[in-house]
Amino acid sequence: MSKANTANTARAATAQIIDGRMIAALVKSDVRLLIERFKLETGASPSLAMVLVGDDPASQSYVRMKERDCEQVGIIARDYRLPADTSQEHLNALIDELNADAGVSGILVQMPLPAGLDEEAVVERIDPAKDVDGFHPTNLGRLLRGQPGMRPCTPAGVMVLLDQYGIELEGKHAVVVGRSNIVGKPQAFLLLERNATVTICHSRTRDLPAVCRQADVLVAAVGRPQMIDASYIKPGATVIDVGINRTEDGTLVGDVDFESALSVAGAITPVPGGVGVMTRACLMRNTIDACVAQEAARKSARLMK
Ligand code: GUN
């Protein structure tokens, strides 16, 4: 063996970096084309109503980024900023108004809501046809039953990344760490739909590292900075980091200890530039999908008259 080859063998393996920014740009470019065609065919434009209650800086920043995405793909962003002391009745009335407005394709109420407002009631009040977050029980139920419907954006974005990087799921063991209604549970069902064998882990799971080490695909959605290190990862596994955590010095980190995981995983998403950008790209896709479905429903209602 040549000297150069020996050096190569001795060097620790490095995982392939899954480039969320690149794939999100592809998704948004598809969405932009779909929207252009829709506008030409119907003369109408998709629109997304974004409701922000209170002045949480992180939520303000998320909404700003979503507005920028809308602008890039040709969705009209309608902003509704309400004070933190908004009553449930007032918020309900706004949602009712947006549900009834044919010019609104999608409705997003930025979470978390200020204390005193009922998030569950808000999620259930949004018309499932306009629920571009995919949080409504009807949409989650449809996912569980394998029916078409709005899929939650983060888990849907993870599936796009896995597909674009050609990561096989059929018969593979996927371990999802986290059981939230917006990521962990829907993620598990999307993976199951693709014939993966799925394990959902949570804070009471015994010997979490050992369970995670069985994963061919490991999805970390726990909300604990850098909790998942190399000792949780089977060599060659695909590691998807859904976490977005800010450390004390302001740095953005995921739920995975990226540096440690890099030498064991086969492929891995970075933070930032991994799953987060895909969430917003899938929100854009859900909004045009909702708009097209609403237009088709209106057309068939006109024909029935
Ligand atoms: N807050 C943090 N992430 C999200 C999201 O995906 N949708 C909404 N509505 N609120 C959020």
Give the tens place of pLDDT for each residue, 64-117.
999 999 999 999 999 999 999 999 999 999 999 999 999 999 999 999 999 999
pLDDT at 167: 98
Write down the residue that tokens 């609104």 correspond to. Answer: 104
Q: Which residues pair with 17 in a beta bridge?
A: 268
Atom of ligand 1 nearest to the CA of 152: 6
Per-residue model confidence as pLDDT tens digits over 248-297 = 999 999 999 999 999 999 999 999 999 999 999 999 999 999 999 999 99
Whether the upstream peptide bond of residue 112 has omega within 30° of 0, thus cis, is: yes
> Is 108 close to ligand 1, i.e. is its CB under 6 Å away?
yes
Q: How far is the CA of 161 from the centre of ligand 1 (A)?
A: 20
Q: Is residue 131 in contact with ligand 1, taking CB distance under 6 Å?
A: no
Dihedral over alpha carbons 229, 230, 231, 233 (to 10 degrees): 100
Q: Is the peptide bond before 57 cis (omega within 30 degrees of 0)?
A: no
Q: Identify the pLDDT of residue 305.
A: 83
Cβ of 111 less than 6 Å from ligand 1? yes
Q: Of all protein residues, whose CA lies closest to atom 2 belonging to ligand 1? A: 111
Residue 38 sits at the vertex; the CA angle it makes with 32 and 42, to the nearest 5 degrees, is: 150
**Which of 62, 113, 117, 183 for mutating ligand 1's site (highest number of atoms within 8 Å of CB)?**
62
Q: How wide is the angle at C-alpha 182 spanned by C-alphas 178 and 187, nearest 5°?
A: 60
Cβ neighbours of residue 272 closer than 8 Å, sequence gap 6 or more = 244, 252
Q: Which positions are catalytic?
A: 66, 110, 133
User: 109: Cβ below 6 Å to ligand 1?
Assistant: yes
Residue nearest to atom 8 of ligand 1 (CA): 110
Q: How far apart are CA 295 and CA 47, in angstroms?
A: 13
pLDDT of residue 3: 43
Ligand 1 centroid from CA 292, angstroms: 23
pLDDT given for residue 12 in this prediction: 64
Whole-number percent of the chain with pLDDT over 70: 96
The residue among 16, 280, 289, 287 whose CA lies nearest residue 164 is: 16
Q: Where are the beta strands (DSSP E) in 202-271?
A: 217-220, 238-241, 245-246, 252-253, 267-268
CA atoms within 13 A on the CB side of 283: 29
Interval 184-210 mean pLDDT: 98
Kindly give the number of the ligand 1 atom that is closest to the alpha carbon of 111: 10
Q: What gap in Å lies between CA 270 and CA 239, rounded to an integer?
A: 10
Determine the Cα–Cα distance for residues 126 and 96; give it in Å rounded to an integer: 8
Interatomic CA distance for residues 142 and 157, integer angstroms? 18
Quick check: CB of 286 below 6 Å from ligand 1? Answer: no
CB 38: neighbour CB atoms within 10 A? 18
Cβ-based neighbours of 249, under 8 Å, separated by 6 or more = none
- Cβ of 174 closer than 6 Å to ligand 1, yes or no, is no
When pLDDT is cut at 50, 70 and 90, the band that residue 13 belongs to is confident
- The structure tokens listed for 294 are 């609403």
